[in-house]
């Protein structure tokens, strides 16, 4: 995991954890995006790097941001129902790189970024062209 990037959290699959015995709801595989002008573009899903405490804390912060509409300009394909949220919370992820279509490769959650707004999230490293140049 050589690169670090920030991303706006825009939703996730609902999942119940039963480790606490209460079946508390959390988000699994958060959908991440980047806001550009009036667009919210999908940049990937995060599936690892979370502890149960991370997931519970993130869910508590996202609950007030839940909305019915998908916040992305182009609705991503999902293999399970998603709870959408306003893309206001920022997280930092480690990743191995980017696909040609601008999706993160192997993203792993690192931490929440409460010092940054979703509109401040920019790509840390631009995509390289196929000939190796910027």
Does residue 21 carry a pLDDT above 60? no
Question: Poorest-confidence range of 36-45, 70-79, 97-106, 125-134?
Answer: 125-134
Q: State the average pLDDT for the chain.
A: 79
When pLDDT is cut at 50, 70 and 90, the band that residue 133 belongs to is: very low
Name the 3-class secondary structure at 25. Answer: strand
pLDDT value of residue 23: 59
Cα 117 from chain centroid (whole Å)? 14
Does residue 1 carry a pLDDT above 70? no
pLDDT value of residue 83: 86
CB-count burial class (<10 Å; 0-12, 13-18, 19+) for 133: exposed
Model-level pTM? 0.76
When pLDDT is cut at 50, 70 and 90, the band that residue 49 belongs to is: confident
Residue found by looking up tokens 């993203």 in the block:
107
Residue 98 to residue 5: CA distance in whole angstroms: 11
67 and 48 Cβ atoms separated by less than 8 Å: no
User: CB neighbours (10 Å) of residue 117?
Assistant: 13
Identify the structural domains of the chain with CATH numbers, from first to last: 3-120 (2.40.50.140)
**At 42, phi and psi to the nearest 5?**
-70, 135
């Amino acid at each position: 995991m050589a690169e670090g990037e920030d991303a706006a959290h825009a939703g996730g699959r609902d999942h119940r954890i039963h480790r606490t015995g209460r079946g508390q709801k959390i988000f699994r595989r958060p959908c991440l995006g980047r806001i550009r002008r009036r667009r919210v573009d999908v940049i990937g899903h995060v599936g690892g790097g979370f502890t149960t405490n991370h997931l519970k804390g993130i869910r508590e912060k996202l609950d007030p941001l839940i909305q019915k509409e998908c916040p992305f300009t182009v609705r991503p394909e999902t293999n399970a129902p998603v709870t959408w949220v306003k893309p206001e919370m920022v997280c930092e992820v480690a990743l191995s790189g980017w696909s040609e279509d601008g999706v993160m490769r192997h993203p792993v959650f690192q931490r929440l970024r409460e010092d940054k707004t979703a509109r401040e999230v920019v790509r840390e490293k631009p995509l390289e062209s196929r000939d190796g140049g910027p």
